[in-house]
């Protein structure tokens, strides 16, 4: 399948971005929208452009500022129509109402008039062009932002993004070295058409989900108990996400592992992401859930290291003893993760989350050993 080739090409170029690639491709199959959140410089925009470069489609891109106008997104007014017919009509060709794939950078900076039009485009796939309701051929709108929206008027707009992903900087030192030698320009080898995507969307509709419905309801119930509330609309749309992700994974019938995509569907606030991930993994992959628990311990140890006076380590006092304690705890985490990885493999479960946390643990271990070697 061409989509799998695209998946492999994107994953091989974009370092530590496997999840982001899968989320974006799932969004296309689901005919839904996706937003990437994160600090500047983490390749949010580059990844979205790269994905769009694989698709022969009408593509529209715009960087939004607080001064952006409707003309810039929806097209200029037709002076001819205004003069001759006294009609307020925009020339939408080559603008967002005519796009099949769209990317709006810094999307939450849009003003209220732009947001109102975007809501109709994203939700109903229509644009009110004067007195005419214009059908919009949009498959997916991708957004990028450095921050989550805080104003109330943006929350309804934010809710239209079924898929959300926080994009972090590259963690691994080895991958940072690979980044340095990476080609500046991404060149796609495999191309697909919008008709190809529509065929995939039809296939996704036929994916059987009978085996995972009870699990899905169980996840929603557990999230409610943890004060993470899922609207009925988002729950309904999550079915599209599961079916599309299962299809991306080459399945005609969804299973527990395909529920993992819900980690990027069921959260609103950043602080809810870990809660959602744990509860989803509890059902879909208990090994990944265990790895997340170890990740929290690792984060706590990293904070403890900040309070150690590295200049006083050589005195072999309390700072030295604390560093040794942290080293031992990190060593235990490393061994437990390796054991868990082997168990996951033997049970044919994904190990991606374990691999990432194990890599982070090993690199933190090297930092501590480096401090001790300076003595």
Residue ranges of the alpha helices (H) in 227-272?
A: 232-248
Q: What is the pLDDT of residues 126-183, one digit of tens each?
A: 999 888 899 999 999 999 999 888 777 788 889 999 999 999 998 888 888 889 988 8
| Dist. CA 71–CA 300, nearest whole Å | 50
Q: Kindly state whether residues 173 and 35 are assigned to the same domain.
A: yes
Mapping DSSP onto H, E and C, the string for 202-271 reads HHHHCCECHHHHHHHHHHHHHHHHCCCCCCHHHHHHHHHHHHHHHHHCCCCECCHHHHHHHHHCCCCCHH
Task: Tell me the two tokens of residue 213.
Answer: 């419905």
Question: How much is the pLDDT for 184?
Answer: 87
* Local confidence band at 374 (pLDDT 50, 70, 90 cut-offs): low
Q: Kindly state whether residues 35 and 166 are assigned to the same domain.
A: yes
Q: Kindly state whether residues 154 and 268 are assigned to the same domain.
A: no
Whether residue 310 has pLDDT greater than 80: no
Question: How much is the pLDDT for 199?
Answer: 96
Question: How much is the pLDDT for 131?
Answer: 83
Question: How much is the pLDDT for 87?
Answer: 75
Q: Residue 21 belongs to a domain with what CATH number?
A: 3.40.50.300
Q: Kindly state whether residues 101 and 225 are assigned to the same domain.
A: no
Q: Kindly state whether residues 131 and 19 are assigned to the same domain.
A: yes
CB 134 within 8 A of CB 92: yes
Q: What is the pLDDT of residues 155-170, one digit of tens each?
A: 888 999 999 999 999 8
Question: How much is the pLDDT for 81?
Answer: 66
* Local confidence band at 315 (pLDDT 50, 70, 90 cut-offs): low
Question: How much is the pLDDT for 307?
Answer: 78
Question: How much is the pLDDT for 275?
Answer: 94
* Local confidence band at 57 (pLDDT 50, 70, 90 cut-offs): very high
Query: How many Cα atoms within 13 Å fall on the side-chain side of residue 153?
Result: 10
Q: What is the pLDDT of residues 68-120, one digit of tens each?
A: 999 999 998 877 766 676 677 889 999 999 999 999 999 999 888 899 899 99
Residues in contact with 236: Cβ distance below 8 Å, sequence separation at least 6, in sequence order: none
Task: Report the sign of the C-alpha dihedral through residues 122, 124, 125, 127, in that order.
Answer: negative
How many C-beta atoms lie closer than 10 Å to residue 368's C-beta? Answer: 20
Measured in whole angstroms, the distance separating CA 231 from the mean position of its chain's CA atoms is 20
Q: Kindly state whether residues 170 and 214 are assigned to the same domain.
A: no
CB 26 within 8 A of CB 142: no
Q: Kindly state whether residues 222 and 88 are assigned to the same domain.
A: no
Structural domain boundaries enclosing 364: 287-373
Q: Who has greater pLDDT, 313 or 338?
A: 338
End-to-end CA distance of the chain: 56
Q: Kindly state whether residues 29 and 151 are assigned to the same domain.
A: yes
Nearest to 273 by CA among 142, 144, 168, 150: 168
State residue 135 phi and psi, 5-degree precision.
-75, 135
CB 224 within 8 A of CB 213: no
* Local confidence band at 341 (pLDDT 50, 70, 90 cut-offs): very high
Mark which of 235, 264, 282 sits at the end of a domain: 282
CB 164 within 8 A of CB 35: yes
Q: Kindly state whether residues 110 and 257 are assigned to the same domain.
A: no
Q: Who has greater pLDDT, 268 or 320?
A: 268
Whether residue 371 has pLDDT greater than 90: no
**DSSP secondary-structure letter at 146?**
S
Q: Locate tokens 């309804």: which residue?
A: 156
Question: How much is the pLDDT for 301?
Answer: 92
Residue 278, SS3? helix
CB 296 within 8 A of CB 328: no
Whether residue 314 has pLDDT greater than 70: no
Least confident of 24-28, 125-129, 254-258, 365-369: 365-369
Task: Tell me the two tokens of residue 60.
Answer: 């529209």
- Percent of the chain exceeding pLDDT 90 equals 69
Task: Tell me the two tokens of residue 259.
Answer: 């529920």
Q: What is the pLDDT of residues 189-245, one digit of tens each?
A: 999 999 999 999 999 999 999 999 999 999 999 999 999 999 999 999 999 999 999
Question: How much is the pLDDT for 306?
Answer: 83
pTM of the model: 0.89
Total domains in the chain come to: 3
| Dist. CA 146–CA 362, nearest whole Å | 29
Question: How much is the pLDDT for 112?
Answer: 86
- Does residue 255 form part of some domain? yes
* Local confidence band at 259 (pLDDT 50, 70, 90 cut-offs): very high
Question: How much is the pLDDT for 313?
Answer: 62
* Strand-strand pairing, 59-63 and 55-56: unpaired
- Does residue 9 form part of some domain? yes
Question: How much is the pLDDT for 78?
Answer: 79
- Does residue 188 form part of some domain? no
| Dist. CA 309–CA 320, nearest whole Å | 9
Measured in whole angstroms, the distance separating CA 263 from the mean position of its chain's CA atoms is 9
| Dist. CA 286–CA 349, nearest whole Å | 9
Tell me the mean pLDDT in the region 326-334. Answer: 92
Task: Tell me the two tokens of residue 94.
Answer: 């080559």
CB 193 within 8 A of CB 186: no
Q: Kindly state whether residues 251 and 343 are assigned to the same domain.
A: no
User: Average pLDDT of the chain?
Assistant: 91
CB 65 within 8 A of CB 111: no
* Strand-strand pairing, 132-135 and 126-129: antiparallel
CB 273 within 8 A of CB 295: no
| Dist. CA 71–CA 67, nearest whole Å | 11
Question: How much is the pLDDT for 211?
Answer: 93
Q: Kindly state whether residues 265 and 308 are assigned to the same domain.
A: no
């Amino acid at each position: 399948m061409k989509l799998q080739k695209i998946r492999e090409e994107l994953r091989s170029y974009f370092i530590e971005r496997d999840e982001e690639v899968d989320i974006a491709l799932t969004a296309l199959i689901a005919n839904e929208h996706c937003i990437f959140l994160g600090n500047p410089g983490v390749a949010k925009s580059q990844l979205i452009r790269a994905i769009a470069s694989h698709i022969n489609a009408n593509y529209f891109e715009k960087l939004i500022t607080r001064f952006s106008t409707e003309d810039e997104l929806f097209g200029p007014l037709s002076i001819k129509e205004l003069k001759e017919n006294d009609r307020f009509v925009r020339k939408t060709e080559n603008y967002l109402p005519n796009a099949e794939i769209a990317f709006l950078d810094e999307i939450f900076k849009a003003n209220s008039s732009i947001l109102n039009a975007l809501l109709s485009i994203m939700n109903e796939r229509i644009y009110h062009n004067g007195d005419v309701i214009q059908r919009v051929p949009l498959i997916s709108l991708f957004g990028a932002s450095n921050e989550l929206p805080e104003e109330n008027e943006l929350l309804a707009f934010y809710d239209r993004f079924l898929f959300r992903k926080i994009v972090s900087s590259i963690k691994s030192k080895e991958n940072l070295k690979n980044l340095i030698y990476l080609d500046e320009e991404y060149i796609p080898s495999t191309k697909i058409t919008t008709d190809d995507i529509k065929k995939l969307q039809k296939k996704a509709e036929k994916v059987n989900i009978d085996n995972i419905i009870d699990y899905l309801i169980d996840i929603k119930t557990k999230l409610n108990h943890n004060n993470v509330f899922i609207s009925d609309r988002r729950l309904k749309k999550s079915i599209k996400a599961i079916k599309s992700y299962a299809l991306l994974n080459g399945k005609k019938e969804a299973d527990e592992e395909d529920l993992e995509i819900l980690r990027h569907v069921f959260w609103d606030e950043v602080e809810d992401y870990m809660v959602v991930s744990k509860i989803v993994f509890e059902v879909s992959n208990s090994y990944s859930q265990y790895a997340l628990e170890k990740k929290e311990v690792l984060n706590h140890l990293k904070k403890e290291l900040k309070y150690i006076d590295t200049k006083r380590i050589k005195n072999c006092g309390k700072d030295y003893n604390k560093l040794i304690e942290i080293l031992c705890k990190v060593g235990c985490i490393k061994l437990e993760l390796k054991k868990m990885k082997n168990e996951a493999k033997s049970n044919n479960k994904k190990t991606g989350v374990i691999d990432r946390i194990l890599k982070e643990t090993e690199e933190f271990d090297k930092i501590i050993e480096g401090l001790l070697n300076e003595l």
